[in-house]
């Protein structure tokens, strides 16, 4: 892999994650599928036009407050109106966006971000260090409700160094900090007396807010002053919330909208046949999981966890639940798209005999194991749980599927019941993913898992700047999670979305979120 060298050299500036990995398997899928669909015309973005996007998310209760952003609609809105210190590109690397460059101290504890000069907010204010500081601080401290709070716990101080430089001190070294600070919640908004107004839609982004009716529609007009001259091609961007899948697909096929997210996997082969429609697919970090509470019986017994891991036919799940639009998982959360994905780790496969063996060893013979599921966890979760039950039955393991209500699933079932279904949007870095959901004591450690060696490696790898050493450590961590962790990761799901052939998507799409990293508004254009 060529990328190792690329990472070791510059920790400043462009931390290119996988460098130019274009040809390798992981990214190859994205590149190949889009290029095949594009018919390979010369790539030339056309300026202008009114883009109408149908988005399968969005609720009347949404708002412009970055602390409440949690769905695909708010995400796309975020990237249309706002910018961040860095942006994740199609290689999965983070590139400076509002920052011009960044530099870390050798221990990766102090980070200084040089801001781009001459950037203006939609209200005419110029971007300065105080705006960045206020925007970050909004997500910190006692009174914030922001999910980014736990990400920023590691920050001990933020200071301005002149008008165009921000210096951030961390508790301990973090080589991936540019990724963290570019999290989608941390949108840069203008500061007024040291505070941002969270409810305003004023940013630096490629489009200026025209009107926003939560749960219905969002409209924005081209920002003529946008600092990226080669981005933001549309005159106007309209996003419409269309939750109903059939309505969304009908709207696309009848030309009411130009593009849509979340195609129906059950009928996508029919959609593909429709002339004038391009179906696109990107491999990302999104994965579906069955987390077990390792702090409560019976899941505190690793033999049982292993038994359950062997008792699942992942291929069938990919085939039936994802209809082939995904890849099998290996009981750890690191996607094949991630840089340090442990390719060498043997793929766990369906083995009723081994499952039976471990089940017996756990002394669980005859016990009924409850598995909670609701489609709120991921589309098809209940079906997946039922398939799981059938697979496990062949190994003599009796699973009882408990169908939970969608309503309130995250507050009443997830992290409460012993074993359930869940999904993760995934994270672009190993450290981020592990720190969020696998580190001991983390807020979202949904398996309540504590593993000393793992936690030790996590800290060591985070501050390690040498790529080869990091790789070894991350490989070991993936192996530990796979063999001793409390999570069954059956599959990684691709993002499948569609647009009319009047739309010209990016030549290579980012996979960190759906719809080209949710940045279609600034990256796509009319053909």
Partner 1 sequence: MAQIMKMVAQRFALGFLTLFVVSLIIFLGIELLPGDIAEEILGQGATPETVAAFRRELGLDVPAHIRYVEWLWNMLQGDMGRSLANKREISELIGLRFGNTLFLAVTAAAISVPLALTLGVLAALYRYSFYDRAVNVVTLSSISFPEFFVAYILIFFLAVTYPVFPSIANISDATPFWDKVYKVLLPALTLTLVVVAHMMRMTRAAIINLLASPYIEMANLKGLSRARIIVKHALPNALAPIINVVVINLAYLIVGVVVVEVVFVYPGLGQLMVDSVSKRDLPVVQASAMIFAGTYVLLNLLADILSILTNPRLLHPR
Residues that bind partner 1 (CB under 8 A): 59-65, 68, 70, 142-147, 149-150, 199, 213-217, 240-244, 246-247, 250-251, 253-254, 256-257, 407-408, 410-412, 414, 422, 443-444
Minimum CB–partner distance for residue 109 and partner 1 (Å): 25
Specify the residue, 99 or 292, whose C-beta has the smaller distance to partner 1. 292
482, 451 contact by CB (below 8 A):
no
- What does the alpha-carbon distance between residue 301 and residue 322 come to, in Å, rounded to a whole number? 30
Specify the residue, 28 or 215, whose C-beta has the smaller distance to partner 1. 215
Minimum CB–partner distance for residue 146 and partner 1 (Å): 7
Minimum CB–partner distance for residue 160 and partner 1 (Å): 26
414, 408 contact by CB (below 8 A):
no
DSSP 341: -
Specify the residue, 225 or 406, whose C-beta has the smaller distance to partner 1. 406
Distances (CA, A) of 83 to 124, 125, 286, 336, 442: 15, 15, 23, 28, 28
Minimum CB–partner distance for residue 245 and partner 1 (Å): 11
Minimum CB–partner distance for residue 254 and partner 1 (Å): 5
Specify the residue, 74 or 182, whose C-beta has the smaller distance to partner 1. 74
Task: Name the one residue in this structure whose structure tokens are 């001793």.
Answer: 484
Specify the residue, 81 or 307, whose C-beta has the smaller distance to partner 1. 81
CB-hemisphere CA count at 13 Å for 451? 26
Specify the residue, 442 or 463, whose C-beta has the smaller distance to partner 1. 442
Specify the residue, 184 or 350, whose C-beta has the smaller distance to partner 1. 184
Q: Count CB neighbours of 59 within 10 A.
A: 13
Minimum CB–partner distance for residue 214 and partner 1 (Å): 6
Distances (CA, A) of 359 to 368, 371, 420: 12, 16, 19
Minimum CB–partner distance for residue 256 and partner 1 (Å): 5
Minimum CB–partner distance for residue 343 and partner 1 (Å): 29
Distances (CA, A) of 318 to 121, 329, 389, 487: 45, 10, 16, 17
Specify the residue, 500 or 506, whose C-beta has the smaller distance to partner 1. 500
Minimum CB–partner distance for residue 249 and partner 1 (Å): 9
Q: What angle do CA 276, 280, 281 make, to 5 degrees?
A: 165
Least Cα distance to 362 among 403, 291, 311 occurs for 311
Q: What is the 3-state secondary structure of 82-127?
A: CCCCEEECCCCCEEECCEEEEEECCCCCEEEEEECCCCECCCCCEC
- What does the alpha-carbon distance between residue 321 and residue 15 come to, in Å, rounded to a whole number? 36
Specify the residue, 299 or 378, whose C-beta has the smaller distance to partner 1. 378
Minimum CB–partner distance for residue 56 and partner 1 (Å): 11
Token output for 114 = 């040089």
- What does the alpha-carbon distance between residue 336 and residue 342 come to, in Å, rounded to a whole number? 8
Least Cα distance to 494 among 26, 155, 102 occurs for 26
Q: Count CB neighbours of 395 within 10 A.
A: 22
Specify the residue, 378 or 474, whose C-beta has the smaller distance to partner 1. 378
């Amino acid at each position: 892999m060529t990328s190792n060298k690329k990472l070791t050299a510059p920790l400043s500036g462009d931390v290119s994650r996988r460098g130019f990995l274009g040809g390798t398997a992981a990214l190859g899928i994205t590149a190949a599928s889009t290029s095949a669909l594009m018919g390979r015309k010369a790539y030339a973005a056309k300026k202008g036009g009114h883009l109408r996007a149908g988005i399968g998310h969005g609720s009347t209760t949404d708002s412009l407050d970055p602390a409440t952003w949690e769905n695909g609609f708010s995400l796309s809105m975020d990237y249309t109106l706002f910018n961040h210190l860095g942006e994740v590109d199609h290689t999965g690397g983070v590139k400076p966006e509002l920052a011009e460059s960044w530099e870390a101290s050798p221990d990766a504890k102090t980070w200084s971000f040089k801001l781009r000069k001459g950037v203006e907010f939609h209200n005419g204010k110029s971007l300065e260090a105080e705006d960045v500081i206020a925007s970050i601080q909004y997500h910190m401290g006692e009174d914030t409700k922001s999910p980014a709070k736990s990400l920023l716990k590691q920050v001990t101080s933020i200071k301005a160094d002149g008008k165009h430089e921000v210096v951030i001190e961390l508790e301990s070294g973090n080589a991936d900090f540019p990724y963290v600070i570019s999290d989608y919640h941390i949108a840069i908004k203008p500061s007024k007396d040291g505070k941002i107004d969270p409810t305003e839609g004023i940013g630096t982004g490629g489009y200026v807010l025209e009107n926003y009716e939560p749960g219905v529609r969002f409209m924005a007009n081209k920002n003529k002053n946008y600092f990226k001259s080669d981005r933001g091609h549309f005159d106007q961007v309209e996003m419409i919330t269309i939750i109903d899948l059939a309505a969304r697909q009908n709207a696309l096929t009848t030309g009411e909208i130009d593009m849509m997210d979340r195609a129906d996997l059950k009928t996508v082969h029919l959609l593909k046949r429709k002339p004038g429609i391009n179906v696109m697919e990107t491999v990302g970090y999104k994965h579906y999981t069955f987390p077990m509470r390792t702090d409560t019986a019976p899941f505190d017994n690793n033999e049982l966890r292993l038994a359950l891991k062997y008792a699942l036919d992942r291929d069938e799940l990919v085939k039936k639940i994802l209809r082939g639009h995904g890849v099998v998982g290996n009981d750890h959360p690191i996607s094949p798209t991630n840089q340090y994905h442990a390719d060498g780790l043997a793929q766990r496969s369906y083995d009723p005999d081994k499952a039976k063996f471990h089940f017996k060893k756990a002394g669980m013979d005859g016990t009924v194991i409850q598995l909670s599921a609701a489609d709120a966890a991921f589309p098809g979760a209940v079906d997946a749980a039922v398939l799981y039950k059938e697979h496990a039955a062949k190994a003599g393991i009796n699973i009882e599927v408990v169908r939970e209500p969608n309503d309130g699933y995250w507050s009443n079932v997830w992290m409460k019941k012993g074993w359930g279904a869940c999904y993760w949007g995934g994270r672009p870095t190993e450290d981020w993913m592990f720190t969020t959901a696998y580190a001991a004591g983390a807020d979202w450690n949904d398996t309540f898992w504590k593993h000393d060696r793992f936690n030790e490696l996590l800290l060591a790898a985070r501050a390690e700047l040498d790529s080869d050493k990091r790789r070894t450590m991350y490989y070991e961590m993936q192996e530990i999670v796979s063999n001793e962790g409390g999570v069954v990761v059956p599959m990684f799901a691709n993002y499948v979305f569609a647009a009319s052939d009047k739309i010209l998507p990016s030549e290579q799409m980012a996979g960190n979120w759906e719809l080209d990293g949710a940045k279609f508004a600034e990256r796509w254009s009319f053909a």
